[in-house]
Structure 1
């Protein structure tokens, strides 16, 4: 797949190292997941998923507990899950997932982040057809051959298994997300370097240097928005 998932994740983590932004985003996502079902990850699959992902980003326990306590406390704050699609410089494609308590505000902010940086918002479906929903799970301490054998024993046929740095990354169908994690847990592996339900581009594009600089500025502007949770795109930004 050539996604260099660890490089992508490390770049995002490095960018957010000196801010509380990534924690605030997780706090909101955890609250929403806990509010939609029982505030217990044992019985709430959505909450368990977001907590697993939060763990890979080293989200502090205090942030997690505060968000769950807010849901337990009966807060009536309501958030809508939204997806925007758009285009960046040179026809690059972008998907933006958001959680918001003010749809009009978020739509205006995302549109402005696109338009002020050489991009434009598209209609629903204008970009998503070029991406595949994908489960991405990573572990350390194993080879690709080890992981393949482990998944075969669990009767799981996944899309791809790639060694990336110190990790082995499994790319699977979205509906295999929990089954792959469970196969690892049955093998005594419970810590994941990556645990994401992502949107991966079917093919990447490489932009000229000037267009890439403009594209990265646009992505930064979108990711800086409080309501934006995740951003997916089809540009190969290199290592």
Structure 2
């Protein structure tokens, strides 16, 4: 959801997430990515997953086993499943999960929505609320903005902006993922965050009470081992994050 939202998650939920949960999610991501090949030089998704594993100090032996498992087709029956629904106040929530037991995961997700006053919708109910894009985030220090912008456009990016925290945010269609990564490599640049994101097409303004309730739901969802990512469309407001 962007750097600002990531900072919020650190304040509200990230500090109490067990290291084991983080490892589990990253290793599942590596296994999934390795289905496309075990060479990170040609498999950009695997490369990004490995970068994430390195940043989180995931043990090398675990990483290698995850790569072999994915490349060998042994993914323990995991399948990708999406869930769509609304939290209190009409906040849209899109959940991406990977599971080897769809009944278990669906039951858990439904119970979380019920507990925090939300409602699970039907597949496709949020198709006009979110759109999938490639998103790269990297520090802008030492980079000429005009030259960088032209290079990214040439690589297929649709939007390049510089935020108030000194980061370039590069967005593009899904098919531009490989070309943007290749251009980054040619320029000797490394993104701190990169991947496929679901970006809101419209936003929902909420009050403090609604925000707190929705964040409890998001935190609970993210703490489920089967859940990979949770997207929402809350309008960013610094006042919501005051302790």
1:60 to 58, 61, 71: 58
Do structure 1's residue 16 and structure 2's residue 14 form an aligned pair? yes
**Per-residue Cα deviation, 1:186-222 (whole angstroms, up to 9, x for no partner):** 1121x21110200000122121111111111111111
CA contact (8 A) 1:86 1:94 kept: yes
Separation of aligned partners in 1, 2:40 and 2:25: 18
Secondary structure, counterpart of 1:64 in structure 2: helix
Segment of structure 1 superposing worse, 79-88 or 202-211:
202-211
Do structure 1's residue 114 and structure 2's residue 135 form an aligned pair? no
Unaligned runs of 5+ in 1: none
* Residues 52-201 of structure 1 mapped to structure 2, 5 A cutoff: 52=51, 54=53, 58-60=56-58, 62=60, 63-71=62-70, 75=74, 77-140=76-139, 141=141, 142=143, 144-152=145-153, 154=154, 156-189=156-189, 191-201=190-200
Separation of aligned partners in 2, 1:96 and 1:228: 7
Separation of aligned partners in 1, 2:185 and 2:145: 17
Runs of 4+ in 1 over 6 A off after TM superposition: none
TM-score, normalisation: structure 2: 0.84
Aligned-residue Cα RMSD (Å) equals: 2.4
1:54 is displaced (CA, Å) by 4.6
**Structure 1 pair 125/133, CA: closer, same or farther in 2 (3 Å)?**
same
Separation of aligned partners in 2, 1:216 and 1:70: 34
Unaligned runs of 5+ in 2: 239-243
